[in-house]
């Protein structure tokens, strides 16, 4: 470390904006936070059509290596493999002339494989932030085959790390159960403030995420339709392999609107969150749920799953239900709609929780303490 305690940080993440799901913007805010504290950050991520191979954004040096990737919102095992190959090829040259104090890697696999290699070859220590799908047993609908053959690799990556961070205790417990016990730290994702004070709330319920069965959109759609909430609309933001089935379920209800994939930095995305009164995501598995944080910052009452990392995230900002219990989801939706005072109280609690637990000024110093 240099004399003024400012560090050069290498960040590896195959999912970096505008690519990926919730972990993507979280890693961006961490990188941006490091820069604001005076550190330099170089990110090595996947290239995607239309994006530059190198750019400087918010003080972050972003290097994109040539890879196979068909979609912004989702990445296959084969596409991950191309990142490992390309990132190693790029770093072989890059690390001969660029020295780093620490490597903050996101995801145990595939990026952790590159981090372990860089440590062995160039002596760069690394920490890892795990986000969900990189841990066996997290996904019921993705990466089962990959994890069947990669557990030994994952263990080596974890052994080589200085420390492993995760945004919730439940995810740390999953890592312990599936991989082993290592040095851990629970640090929530930092989230920028999405609040637009000039926008007024409307009778809108919103949900956002990758359209996968485990995200529970199907239960929300069924509950919304059976509740028959006059004057209310349900917006579903996202894309994914479950899209057509979900659209088929909602085809006879004009009050259910699918927006498709929206960048979370886009005007439309932010406006929808700020206009919504209720946010609901009924995931069976969630490490933390960046979309919950976005919703809290915009004063949305929350209806969430009582499983995985959701209860830790939501706290006192709304209701927790068993995802598949459609009648209970309907009951909670109806209760909030018919009790505006309760809705406003949850909205106030949501904003307070965002500021005290998830804001940039609260979280970024915790990551800085860790890397120092």
Q: Can you say whether the dihedral through the CA atoms of 46, 209, 247, 325 is positive or negative? A: positive
Low-confidence winner among 117-126, 147-156, 344-353 (lowest mean pLDDT): 147-156
Q: What pLDDT score was predicted for residue 23?
A: 86
> CATH for 204-358, among 3.40.430.10, 3.40.50.410, 3.40.50.2000, 3.30.60.50?
3.40.50.2000
Q: Where residue 203 falls among pLDDT bands split at 50, 70, 90? A: very high
Q: Where residue 367 falls among pLDDT bands split at 50, 70, 90? A: very high
- CB–CB of 167/189 below 8 Å? yes
Joined together, the tokens standing for residue 308 give: 């995985």
Length of the chain: 372
- Look at residue 151 and tell me whether its pLDDT is greater than 50: yes
CB-based contacts of 262: which residues, under 8 Å, 6+ apart?
237, 268, 269, 272
Q: Where residue 155 falls among pLDDT bands split at 50, 70, 90? A: very high
How far is Cα of residue 147 from the mean position of the Cα atoms in its chain? 20
- Look at residue 2 and tell me whether its pLDDT is greater than 50: no
Average pLDDT value for residue range 279-304: 91
- Look at residue 21 and tell me whether its pLDDT is greater than 90: no
Low-confidence winner among 20-24, 38-42, 46-50, 140-144 (lowest mean pLDDT): 140-144
* CA 146 – CA 137 distance, rounded (Å): 11
Q: Which residue has the higher pLDDT, 219 or 323?
A: 219
- Look at residue 147 and tell me whether its pLDDT is greater than 70: no
pTM for the complete prediction?
0.78
- Look at residue 95 and tell me whether its pLDDT is greater than 50: yes
Q: What pLDDT score was predicted for residue 41?
A: 98
- Look at residue 143 and tell me whether its pLDDT is greater than 70: no
- Look at residue 144 and tell me whether its pLDDT is greater than 70: no
> φ and ψ at 336, to 5 degrees?
-65, -40
Q: What pLDDT score was predicted for residue 157?
A: 95
Average pLDDT value for residue range 21-49: 94
As a three-state string, the secondary structure of the chain is CCCCCCCEEEEECCCCCCCCCCHHHHHHHHHHHHHHCCCEEEEEEECCCCCCCEEEECCEEEEEECCCCCCCCCCCHHHHHHHHHHHHHHHHHHHHHCCCCEEEEECCCCHHHHHHHHHHHHCCCEEEECCCCCCCCCCCCCCHHHHHHHHHHHHHHHHHCCCEEECCHHHHHHHHHHCCCCCEEECCCCECCCCCCCCCCCCEEEEECCCCHHHCHHHHHHHHHHHCCCCCEEEEECCCCCHHHHHHHCCCCCCEEEEECCCCCCHHHHHHHHHCCEEEECCCCCCCCHHHHHHHHCCCEEEEECCCCHHHHHCCCEEEECCCCHHHHHHHHHHHHHCHHHHHHHHHHHHHHHHHHHEHHHHHHHHHHHHC
Where does CATH 3.40.50.2000 sit in the chain? Answer: 8-186, 204-358
- Look at residue 133 and tell me whether its pLDDT is greater than 90: no
Q: What pLDDT score was predicted for residue 1?
A: 39
- Look at residue 284 and tell me whether its pLDDT is greater than 70: yes
Mean pLDDT of the chain: 92
- Look at residue 104 and tell me whether its pLDDT is greater than 80: yes
The pLDDT > 70 percentage for the chain reads: 97
**Does 8-186 carry CATH code 3.40.50.920?**
no
Average pLDDT value for residue range 88-107: 97
Helix axis angle, 23-36 relative to 290-297, nearest 10°?
Answer: 70
Among residues 12, 31, 313, the alpha carbon closest in space to that of 167 is found at: 313
Average pLDDT value for residue range 164-193: 90
Joined together, the tokens standing for residue 167 give: 């945004």
- Look at residue 142 and tell me whether its pLDDT is greater than 90: no
Q: What pLDDT score was predicted for residue 263?
A: 86
- Look at residue 3 and tell me whether its pLDDT is greater than 50: no
* CA 369 – CA 127 distance, rounded (Å): 12
Q: Which residue has the higher pLDDT, 329 or 210?
A: 329
* CA 284 – CA 303 distance, rounded (Å): 13
For 278, other C-beta atoms within 10 Å of its C-beta total: 26
């Amino acid at each position: 470390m240099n004399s003024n305690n400012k560090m050069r940080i290498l960040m590896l993440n195959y999912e970096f904006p505008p690519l990926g799901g919730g972990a993507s913007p979280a890693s961006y805010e961490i990188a941006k936070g490091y820069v604001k504290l005076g550190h330099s950050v170089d990110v090595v991520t996947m290239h995607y059509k239309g994006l530059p191979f190198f750019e400087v954004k918010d003080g972050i040096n972003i290097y994109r290596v040539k890879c196979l990737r068909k979609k912004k919102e989702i990445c296959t095992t084969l596409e991950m493999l191309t990142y490992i190959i390309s990132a190693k090829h790029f770093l072989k040259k890059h690390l001969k002339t660029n020295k780093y104090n620490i490597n903050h890697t996101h995801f145990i696999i595939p990026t952790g494989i590159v981090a372990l290699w860089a440590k062995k070859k160039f002596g760069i220590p690394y920490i890892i932030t795990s986000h969900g799908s990189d841990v066996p047993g997290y996904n019921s609908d993705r990466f089962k085959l990959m994890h069947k053959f990669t557990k030994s690799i994952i263990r080596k990556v974890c052994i080589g790390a200085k420390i492993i961070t995760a945004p919730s205790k439940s995810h740390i417990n999953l890592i312990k159960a599936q991989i082993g016990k290592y040095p851990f730290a629970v640090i929530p994702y930092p989230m920028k403030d999405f609040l637009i004070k000039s926008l007024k709330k409307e009778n809108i319920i919103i949900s956002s995420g990758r359209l996968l069965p485990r995200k529970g959109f199907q239960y929300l759609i069924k509950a919304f339709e059976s509740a028959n909430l006059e004057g209310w609309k349900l917006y579903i933001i996202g894309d994914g392999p479950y899209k057509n089935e979900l659209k088929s379920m909602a085809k006879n209800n004009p009050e259910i609107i699918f927006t498709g994939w929206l960048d979370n930095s886009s005007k439309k995305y932010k406006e929808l969150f700020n206009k919504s009164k209720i946010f609901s995501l009924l995931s069976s598995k969630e490490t933390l749920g960046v979309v919950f944080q976005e919703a809290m910052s915009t004063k949305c009452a929350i209806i969430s799953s009582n499983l995985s990392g959701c209860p830790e995230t939501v706290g006192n900002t709304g209701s927790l239900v068993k995802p598949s219990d459609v009648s209970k989801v309907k009951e909670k939706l109806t209760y909030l709609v018919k009790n505006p005072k309760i809705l406003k109280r949850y909205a106030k609690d949501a904003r307070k929780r965002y500021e005290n637990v998830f804001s940039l000024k609260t979280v970024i110093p915790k990551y800085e303490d860790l890397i120092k």
